């Protein structure tokens, strides 16, 4: 498959690109900063410099043309203010979905976050509240589209080794953590899992082998 990852220099995106390239897929990773190209190339993916905050639907659609699937893995990142949560976490996702529709790419997997879709807890700081709101709006936009979408909501992200065992559910599950490596592995499995189309999935560490967890969705 030919796959495009938006937000290609993120930690999960780099792990995902490496996994997909090692499996023989053609991977292109969209990045904002050309200085990150070497890191992306090191995964086996082809870096494409294209800033989601400074491009338009037509240019982005051209980058997606001929792809079998796209993954939205972009985010404003730690240290960014509330405004960029809306321009990247929401605006980037909406623009990528627009471009996917224009390019005829139906399979669209979006990384969201656990806690999206619910009001922030009382006392939540402004930036975190904006992040949850931006992710919620991006999810709502995607659900309204005629795409083969899947939304993945991982719990608190860890830079530990993956275990290959997870809890993955279309129903709300308790808040917990998950290794970024396991998130990347689940994303790779979702791309070729038609049973997960039009589902929103919570993901945390667990006891089920991740391929079994993906296969069980909808059964």
pLDDT tens digits, one per residue of 161-174: 999 999 999 999 98
Q: Note the pLDDT of residue 80.
A: 84
pTM: 0.96
Nearest Cα residue to 6 out of 35, 19, 40: 40
pLDDT digits (tens, 9 = 90+) for 83-102: 999 999 999 999 999 999 99
Q: Is the CA virtual torsion 27, 31, 34, 36 positive or negative?
A: negative
Q: Is the distance from CB of 43 to CB of 21 less than 8 angstroms?
A: yes
Using one digit for the tens of pLDDT, what is the confidence trace for 39-77?
999 999 999 999 999 999 999 999 999 999 999 999 988
pLDDT value at 123 more than 80: no
CA distance 162 to 159: 9
Edge to edge, the sheet with strand 148-154 lists: 46-49, 26-31, 2-6, 69-72, 107-111, 148-154, 199-205, 165-169, 208-209
What pLDDT was estimated at residue 217?
A: 97
Lowest-confidence region among 90-104, 120-134, 150-164? 120-134
Lowest mean pLDDT among 41-50, 123-132, 186-195: 123-132
CB-based contacts of 99-104 (< 8 A; 24+ apart in sequence):
99/57, 99/60, 99/61, 99/63, 99/64, 100/61, 100/64, 100/70, 100/147, 101/145, 101/146, 101/147, 102/57, 102/58, 102/61, 103/61, 103/62, 103/64, 103/65, 103/66, 103/67, 104/65
Contact 194, 171 (CB under 8 A): no
């Amino acid at each position: 498959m030919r796959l495009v990852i938006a937000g290609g220099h993120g930690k999960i995106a780099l792990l995902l690109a490496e996994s997909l390239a090692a499996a023989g897929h053609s991977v292109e990773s969209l990045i904002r900063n050309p200085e990150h190209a070497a890191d992306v190339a090191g995964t086996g993916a082809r870096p494409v410099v294209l800033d989601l905050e400074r491009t338009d639907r037509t240019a982005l659609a051209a980058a997606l043309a001929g792809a079998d699937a796209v993954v939205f893995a972009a985010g404003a990142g730690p240290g960014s203010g509330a405004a960029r949560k809306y321009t990247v976490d929401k605006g980037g996702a909406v623009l990528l979905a627009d471009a996917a529709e224009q390019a005829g790419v139906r399979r669209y997997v979006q990384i969201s976050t656990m806690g999206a879709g619910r009001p922030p807890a009382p006392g939540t700081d402004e930036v975190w509240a904006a992040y949850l709101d931006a992710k919620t709006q991006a999810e709502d936009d995607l659900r309204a589209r005629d795409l083969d979408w899947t939304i993945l909501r991982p719990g608190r992200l860890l830079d530990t080794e993956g275990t290959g065992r997870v809890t993955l559910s279309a129903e709300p599950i308790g808040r917990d953590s998950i290794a970024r490596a396991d998130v990347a592995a689940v994303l790779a499995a979702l791309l070729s899992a038609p049973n997960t189309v039009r589902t929103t999935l919570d993901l945390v560490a667990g006891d089920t082998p991740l391929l079994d967890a993906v296969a069980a969705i909808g059964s």
